[in-house]
A and B are shown apart, each in its own frame.
Chain A
Amino acid sequence: MIDVSTFVGGYPFRYLPHPDPGALLRVLDREQIDEAWVGHLPSAFYRDPAPGNRELFALLAPNAKRLRPIPAVRPDWPRWQEALRDAANAGAPAVRAYPPQWGFGPHDASMRELAIAAGEIGMHLILTVRFEDLRQRHALDVAGDLSAAAIRALARAGNAVRLIVTAAGREMIEEVHWGLTPAEQQRVLWDFAWVWGPPEDHLAKLFRTIGSRRFVFGSQWPLRLVQNPRANLDLLPDDVRDMPLGSVARDA
């Protein structure tokens, strides 16, 4: 089991307890999760993600086989292609990007270039729809959620594109999925950290309609309880309870 959506580092708008690699390792052990893909949370709010990436690799180096660094690549920044190549050479299975926090619109050309370039070298591009519930955001936290239009635009960018979209709810997942061709749908994986379970049973409905293999496990630790997506799986109705999740393996 891989948790594709974790971070280390602090969050600018509220205190997070122990957002460090040691705590994450203990959580993985407790929750019987084999591996975490780990981003550097402060970097989402840096203009230049490079220093955050360096810090991320340094923090995770002692446990890099289990805590896989997922650096951020900002595609409107000079020499971003080198940052992407460096990430690939360091063995990162994916890179992260934060279009709302960087002020990118839904059809940003540089994001399309990044999605294609990452896909062509076998890397996923991880996108974050939101870090916190809209209703609790700090007055300075005005970036807004990643839009469905932005995700659709990237999924349509080319055959090589492989997206992992984290922290989306049912409505956004459906809006994107049914706005894509069957081939384009296969380029998008979703985590279900923000998808509701019973009694609304949104996760079960999504498993029945778009298929469980479009979903991967992601928790958004240390922002949210890692227990939540697991509880959601545990409470699935019988007809979908044993459906397999998707895989982040490159040939999936």
Chain B
Amino acid sequence: MTVPLAGPSPLIDAHAHFYGDQSGRADWRDLNAARFRAGERIGISYHVASVLGSYGFSSPTYFPSPADVTAGNDIMLEIAEHERRRVRMYVTVNPNYSDHAVKEIERCVARGAVGVKLLASRRADDPLLDPIAELAGERHLPVLHHIWQHRRREWPSQEISDGADLARLAARHPRTNFILAHIGGGGDYAHTFPAVVDTPNVFPDLSGSGVDRGMLDDAVAALGASRLLWACDLTIETGLAKLRALETIGLSDDAIADIRWRNAVRLFPEGSFSLETRNAASTSARHSPLATRHS
């Protein structure tokens, strides 16, 4: 059996996405298959994933209509139920439709959703998010919130929030845990760490296409390994690169295990994951020599 690129110990991708036939992309099956292919090669134990409405096909990705929210969640439910071995689900909601959001959370949690996904439909500190955050806290569901690292102005197609915005929401809901999305996903992550350091229920994920040197070091130095979650979002290769980089910045095996999977196990509802942890100390994400494959 081939050893996974990221080693045999557990690995949870806390920020993933899947697609369906309503996503407006003819290649949606290929995208889902590619995520599973790369996940198997790396050694991802679980993809904790959401479907973002219609991804812009019939309502905007970051402002999904209630109908698209429901349709997307239905697709995600189907994938999670069919891929029980390796997929868990966030229920996506739009806080501008509070009643619908609450009902969607209840509906999808009853079928196995383990977290709530918020996009950029409303600023993170808006009171409209309060009933969602409250319900998530009651059900022990972490809330994964899309974040733009350092919001300096408005950008099109999103009502962006940054770490400071999310910290204000998190401070109002100290019993709810919030996953701050993709420190490598755009904007200035250097702003995020001091913005959330004093808000202990905010847990940044490492995903995003950004692989700036110093980003991981600064995240660990500012927040500690117990506050960080490994994740990929739309670029799995950057996830693998970050795993390999984590091994070079002087972290202990325990700290790496926290980031790889233990923090996720702590954040999501008890029993969300079934993990074989006997080999957890072996976390190597080392690569084989490139020269042997590519001249």
Contact residues of A with B, CB < 8 Å? Answer: 1, 14-17, 30-34, 132-133, 135-136, 139, 194, 196-201, 203, 217, 221-225, 227-228, 230-235, 237, 241-242, 244-245
Contacts and interface: CB of A to CB of B under 8 A. Distances in A.
A245 B238 contact: no
Contacts, number: 126
17 contacts: A17-B217, A32-B291, A136-B188, A196-B234, A198-B35, A199-B31, A201-B30, A217-B290, A222-B213, A225-B213, A227-B241, A228-B241, A231-B240, A235-B236, A244-B294, A244-B295, A245-B295
Interface in B139-156: 148-150, 152, 155
A228 B209 CA distance: 10
A225 B245 contact: yes
Nearest to A132: B212
B90 to A, nearest CB: 17
Contacts of B155: 135
A224 B212 contact: yes
B38 to A, nearest CB: 4
Question: Secondary structure of the A side of the interface?
Answer: loop
Given A135-B186, A231-B244, A235-B42, A1 B213 contact: no
B111 interface: no
A199 B25 CA distance: 13
B149 A136 contact: yes
Interface residues of B, number: 45
Given A30-B248, A199-B32, A242 B211 contact: no
A201 B34 contact: yes
A17 B291 CA distance: 27
Given A17-B214, A233-B290, A241-B293, A198 B37 contact: yes
B187 interface: yes
Nearest to B237: A197
Given A198-B34, A224-B212, A231-B287, 4 more contacts: A133-B209, A198-B236, A199-B236, A235-B236
A180 B240 CA distance: 34
A230 to B, nearest CB: 6
A221 B213 contact: yes
A231 B186 contact: no
B227 interface: no
